[in-house]
């Protein structure tokens, strides 16, 4: 039976995660449908969403499973896609320190949305911070898992669903992110990244341009940072 301290933290955390649930359930459902449509068993997306828990990287992992074995390339890809979590971790060091057995899970389960809620919410004195962070993280992962579960079951059992072309969802997702970036103050950053990617594609070809492109983007942005510039 949960103590009052635990329940109080849950009641405070739950309303803050409800808006996240809407997005996670929909995107998770899409991911489950996408994974099953590629011919992978129902258990694959469920295992990946528990072990990886990084939305964009989970979509990319599906494509990596059908490519030649390249652990170094996969590692670099994951680092480039989720490298921002390194900075999240630095920000949350003080908040997550000293939370006992919860700390390892909080580190593992931190995603963009959990970070945003945990770093911006002023936790009242009568709410245990450790349990609040724990519930925010667990609830968000539960929303994602539920979406993936529904999508995987639907894709496996409702075989009449028109899933042809759903593989384009990953491309569409990144196009939307790019367009959103171009509308922001960081438009120059997105255009530079696109230009570097096109150069890498022209030089290296479609089979091996991705890692050189990411390395080039990282090098150029680090150089601009050292020279005192920015990407805004």
| Residue-wise pLDDT tens digits, 112-160 | 889 889 988 889 989 999 999 999 999 999 999 999 999 999 888 876 6
- The pLDDT assigned to 169 comes to 62
Q: Which of 122, 157, 192 represents a domain boundary (last residue)?
A: 157
210 and 109 inside one domain: no
Contacts of 223 (CB under 8 A, 6+ apart): none
141 and 86 inside one domain: yes
pLDDT digits (tens, 9 = 90+) for 160-180: 666 666 666 666 666 766 776
26 and 86 inside one domain: yes
- The pLDDT assigned to 142 comes to 95
Instruction: Give the model's confidence band at 53: pLDDT under 50 very low, under 70 low, under 90 confident, else very high.
Output: confident
Mean pLDDT of 225-229: 69
- Least Cα distance to 65 among 57, 26, 164 occurs for 57
User: Does residue 173 belong to any structural domain of this protein?
Assistant: no
107 and 212 inside one domain: no
Q: Please give, one letter per residue, the 3-state secondary structure of 2-46.
A: CCHHHHHHHHHHHHHHHHHHHHHHHHHHHHHHHHHHCCCCCHHHH
* Mean of pLDDT over the chain: 83
> Are the CB atoms for 2 and 131 separated by under 8 Å?
no
- Is residue 231 pLDDT above 60, yes or no? no
- Tally of domains in the chain: 2
Instruction: Give the model's confidence band at 8: pLDDT under 50 very low, under 70 low, under 90 confident, else very high.
Output: very high
> Are the CB atoms for 128 and 100 separated by under 8 Å?
no
133 and 84 inside one domain: yes
Among 89-93, 96-100, 110-114, 220-224, the least confident range: 220-224
59 and 134 inside one domain: yes
- Least Cα distance to 172 among 61, 31, 23 occurs for 31
Contacts of 26 (CB under 8 A, 6+ apart): 147
38 and 115 inside one domain: yes
Phi first, then psi, for residue 227 (nearest 5°) are -85, 0
140 and 25 inside one domain: yes
- Is residue 185 pLDDT above 70, yes or no? no
Instruction: Give the model's confidence band at 181: pLDDT under 50 very low, under 70 low, under 90 confident, else very high.
Output: low
97 and 198 inside one domain: no
Q: Distance (Å, rounded) from C-alpha 133 to C-alpha 113?
A: 12
- The pLDDT assigned to 15 comes to 94
| Cβ neighbours of 225 (radius 10 Å) | 11
pTM of the model: 0.75
144 and 202 inside one domain: no
- The pLDDT assigned to 17 comes to 93
User: Does residue 50 belong to any structural domain of this protein?
Assistant: yes
- Is residue 84 pLDDT above 90, yes or no? no
Structural domain boundaries, residue 192: 184-226
Contacts of 96 (CB under 8 A, 6+ apart): 103, 106, 107, 133
């Amino acid at each position: 039976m949960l103590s009052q301290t635990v329940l109080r933290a849950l009641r405070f955390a739950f309303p803050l995660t409800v808006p996240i649930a809407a997005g996670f359930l929909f995107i998770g459902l899409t991911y489950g449908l996408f994974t099953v449509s590629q011919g992978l068993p129902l258990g694959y997306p469920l295992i990946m969403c528990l072990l990886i828990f990084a939305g964009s990287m989970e979509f990319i992992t599906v494509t990596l499973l059908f490519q030649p074995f390249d652990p170094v390339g996969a590692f670099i890809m994951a680092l480039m896609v989720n490298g921002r979590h390194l900075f999240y971790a630095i920000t949350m060091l003080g908040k997550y320190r000293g939370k006992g057995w919860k700390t390892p899970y909080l580190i593992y389960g931190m995603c963009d949305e959990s970070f945003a809620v945990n770093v911006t919410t002023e936790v009242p004195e009568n709410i245990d911070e450790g349990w609040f962070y724990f519930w925010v993280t667990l609830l968000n992962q539960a929303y994602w898992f539920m979406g993936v579960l529904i999508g995987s079951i639907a894709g496996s059992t409702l075989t009449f669903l028109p899933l042809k072309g759903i593989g384009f969802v990953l491309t569409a997702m990144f196009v939307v992110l790019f367009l959103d970036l171009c509308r922001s103050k960081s438009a120059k950053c997105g255009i530079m990244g696109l230009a570097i990617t096109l150069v890498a594609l022209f030089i290296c070809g479609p089979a091996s341009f991705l890692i050189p492109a990411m390395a080039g983007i990282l090098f150029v942005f680090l150089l601009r940072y050292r020279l005192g510039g920015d990407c805004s």
